[in-house]
A and B are shown apart, each in its own frame.
Chain A
Amino acid sequence: MEIKRRKRSRPKPISTPASDNVGIHPSQVHHKEETNKQLVRKLDGTQEIVDKYGSDKTALIQILLEIQRENRWLPRDALLYVSEKLDVPLSQVYRIATFYTAFSLIPQGRHRVCVCMGTACHVRGSPRLLDLVINALNLSPGETSPDRKFTLSTVNCLGCCALGPVLQVDSEYHGNPSAEDVKKIVAGCD
């Protein structure tokens, strides 16, 4: 009896381009043939970055940092491209992308809300500030709001210990904000 080879089904691409690769497991990473405009644009940027470093293997971390800065995350296709171009196994690219805290495999929000958890801020009460921010945003550290407006993160030291405890929203610093201040700051983001 002839065994019919079943056609491999592929999950349908998700319609919103931003949620492209959310929560993807490395085993699921494989080439996509589709070419939507967004993807081409993204890879364009990636190509330039890789070319800038002359496909130098030792520049892997620097290349990933620039891709991260450009996109606010590391899209799967960019990682595949970098892996191929630099001739570095994807597993190794993935290892670096997960080892360092600067990289994110899921898209980040438009506003980066960051609570400093450095020692100086800790002794001046940053755990309480973090609680306030968690309440205000309804997010845990590391999470992004479903509308991709905010990403809440913690950082080990921002180096402005005199202000502690410090809340950073994008490039603005807020020293020792009260519960009211936190609400106002969050409401002030568009």
Chain B
Amino acid sequence: MNRLSSPAALERARKRILSRRDPDKPCITVCSGTGCHSYGCDKVSAAFVDELAKNDLQGKVDVRRTGCHGFCERGPVVVIVPEEICYLRVKPEDVPEIVSTTLVGKRLVDRLLYVDSNGQKIAHEGDIPFYKRQMRIVLASNRLIDPKSIDDYIALGGYSALAKSLFKMSPEQVLEEVKRANLRGRGGGGFPAGVKWESTRNAPAATKYVIVNADEGDPGAFMDRSLLEGNPHSVLEGLIIGAYAIGSHEGYVYVRQEYPLAVENLSIALSQAREYGLLGEDILGSGFDFDVIVHRGAGAFVSGESSALMTAIEGAVGEPRPKYIHTAVSGIRGQPSNLNNVETWANVPLIINRGSGWFTSIGTAGSKGTKIFALVGKVNNTGLVEVPMGMSLREIIYDIGGGIRQGKKFKAVQTGGPSGGCIPESLLDLPVDFDELTRVGSMMGSGGMIVMDEDNCMVDIARYFTNFLGDESCGKCVSCRMGIGQMIKILDRICQGKGQKGDVELLEELGEVVRDVSLCALGKTAPNPVLSTIKYFRDEYKAHIEQKRCPAGVCKALISYYIQPDKCQGCMICLRSCPVEAITGGKGLVHIVDQKKCTKCGTCLEVCPPRFAAVTRLSGEPIPAAPSLGTKVLRPKGKQQ
């Protein structure tokens, strides 16, 4: 491919790519996102290639490994276009049947289709409730394109927004459009991107930088990863447009080294874009120069903070610094540096192409557009969901997420990553946008949404997040280093049943100090998990402290396992499974848990056959005296041996 030297050349290239493609030619798309990858989608796509060869279909049917489709729960996802027949949980063994039945015989393989709650089978991807209720704009192309192919992206109209910006709009107009769209930062802060761009643009300096923050450190969040792995060109296009508006000629993409596929796909995208003349000198013949360097992060949560990230790019330890002067004015090497999150950049080409009017028609008064969430935890349909701002939590969790696993009771949803808060059932109808989430003591964060059910202990969850933040704190501010440390100590004490009266109040007081005194967002938001769980689940804290009881049965020090003598059938299953040999008894004899040896792993409860249900978990009540060794089991009537 020659360098594209004008918008007309880009358009010609697009037509040429399309003319080589037959829209009616069947194509098997295999989701190759991280979720499906871990289910073994590689083997599935390899099996398709083999099977097509066996049936003399190679050349007549394409196999495409696409970006993440989002429905990770049912991976690997296979969609056959143009009919959009969607098969879920496809294994390599299923491939011959799919090829012979669907591709050759034009019939459906019923057993691989989605079955809805009424037992109805759904053949088309778009009709599955998980997708139906979503509004996929940013993620729309993920399932259609091979991330390693720039042609796929150009075929769908890719880089047309860049051509429009460079040739039909001045940098000021681009900036104005993004400002009018009120695009707020998707990384968590929600700061208007246009305003940030403007301060970098107006800052007096010869060199300016634009940066993509792909240091997605939040556990349980993988939106940025899916975008960068699945559609790297959309992020790159947004970045180039931003650079043009700001007047920058140098950009960075900061990616976690834990995301090797994202680094790989992005590097391929960059070299392809350079080859096509969409990156580098004289982009599309416009005279505008811009290039990008990929910087891999080495694993530090705090380095996702803007000033820390910029320090890391300089090659030093990624620690935050005071931001009396914003990084937009003084960032990398003291030069104005504009940093936005992956999803924010990916929104830019859409705004340029479809206009700010279209963008502002989606969402709520303060938050426009859509937001991608990673819906995970105890929910039926784990996956990536993109919804318009303002959709209620209930709709996201129940209509899209399919409700709670195993029919359990919903307890809370945690949004905003480790620094977010837990939202209780009473607030399920809350419309999700930046301001509403902040109002109830949580935050949007980068978009993790972790659903918890009745089996999750909120004190344990608070301890988990606080521990995480304590580990990841860089230690620069005393309030964060010591404050979080003390909070962990208190939470540990409560979980171990040694909680004292006044601990909850002390946690609140400490939390306020950490929040008010720390330098960066990590410290400022670190108390959120504790404060929000105290606010909404104070009873659980009280139960731990006053009754020495863990209502959810999670905190090991507060629970014990007991085998009910009247129910035990002496089947030896738990006795054999116990990893520490804490269960004694024998065939036909009542089994007894030695409480001193028991490590409370819960294996016995898990393996006890449900028809006996002899093992119980006790908390906050005395353990009944065990029967003497060698007691024979009580057989139900009629089964007496």
Q: Which residues of A contact B (CB under 8 A)?
A: 56-62, 64-65, 92, 95-96, 99-103, 117-120, 122-124, 128, 131-132, 135, 155-164, 166, 173, 175, 179
Contacts and interface: CB of A to CB of B under 8 A. Distances in A.
B219 A118 contact: yes
A127 to B, nearest CB: 9
Contacts of A164: 376
B502 interface: no
B197 interface: no
Contacts of A92: 316
Contacts of B301: 156
Given A58-B313, A123-B456, A161 B376 contact: yes
Given A100-B300, A128-B602, A160-B35, A119 B448 contact: yes
B374 A161 contact: yes
B313 A163 contact: no
A119 to B, nearest CB: 4
Contact of A160 (B38, B315, B316, B418): B38
Contact of B220 (A58, A61, A119, A163): A119
Interface string B23-54: 00000000000110111000000000000000
A173 B316 CA distance: 33
Chain A to chain B: the 4 pairs with minimum beta-carbon distance, closest first: A118-B219, A100-B298, A173-B38, A120-B376
B317 A99 contact: yes
B411 to A, nearest CB: 10
A157 B222 contact: yes
B72 A61 contact: no
A119 B414 contact: yes
A158 B39 CA distance: 13
Interface in B193-242: 217-222, 225
A162 B221 contact: no
Contacts of B82: none
A163 B35 contact: yes
B450 interface: yes
B34 A160 contact: yes
B288 interface: no
B314 interface: yes
A102 to B, nearest CB: 4
Name the interface size band of chain B. Answer: 35 or more
B35 A119 contact: no
A128 B601 CA distance: 7
B382 interface: yes
Given A61-B298, A166-B38, A156 B315 contact: no
Contacts of B257: 65, 102
Interface of B: 34-35, 37-39, 72-73, 75, 217-222, 225, 257-259, 295-301, 312-318, 374, 376-378, 382-383, 414, 418, 448, 450-452, 456, 461, 464-465, 468, 474, 577, 579, 599, 601-603
A179 B577 contact: yes
Contacts of B259: 159
Contacts of A163: 35, 38-39
B614 to A, nearest CB: 20
A88 to B, nearest CB: 8
A135 B259 CA distance: 29
Given A61-B315, A95-B317, A162-B35, A120 B377 contact: yes
B382 A122 contact: no
B450 A119 contact: yes
Contact of B601 (A120, A124, A131): A131
Given A102-B299, A122-B464, A135-B579, A161 B38 contact: no
A15 B377 CA distance: 49
A99 B319 CA distance: 10
A101 B295 CA distance: 16
B381 to A, nearest CB: 9
20 contacts: A57-B315, A61-B296, A96-B316, A99-B474, A119-B219, A119-B220, A120-B377, A123-B452, A135-B579, A155-B258, A157-B219, A159-B34, A159-B222, A159-B225, A161-B72, A162-B376, A162-B383, A166-B38, A179-B579, A179-B603
Given A161-B72, A161-B220, 8 more contacts: A99-B318, A119-B376, A119-B464, A122-B464, A156-B301, A158-B38, A164-B376, A179-B603
B267 to A, nearest CB: 13
A69 B317 CA distance: 19
B312 A157 contact: no
Contacts of A160: 34-35, 37-38, 72
A65 B451 CA distance: 35
Contacts of B456: 123
Contacts of B34: 158-160
**Candidate in A100, A158, A162, A173 with the most chain B CB atoms within 10 angstroms:** A162
Contacts of B577: 179
A17 to B, nearest CB: 26
B73 A162 contact: yes
Nearest to B312: A61
Contacts of B378: 123-124
B333 to A, nearest CB: 9
A69 to B, nearest CB: 9
Max count, chain B CB within 10 A of own CB: residue among A92, A99, A100, A117: A99
A143 to B, nearest CB: 17
A43 B297 CA distance: 24
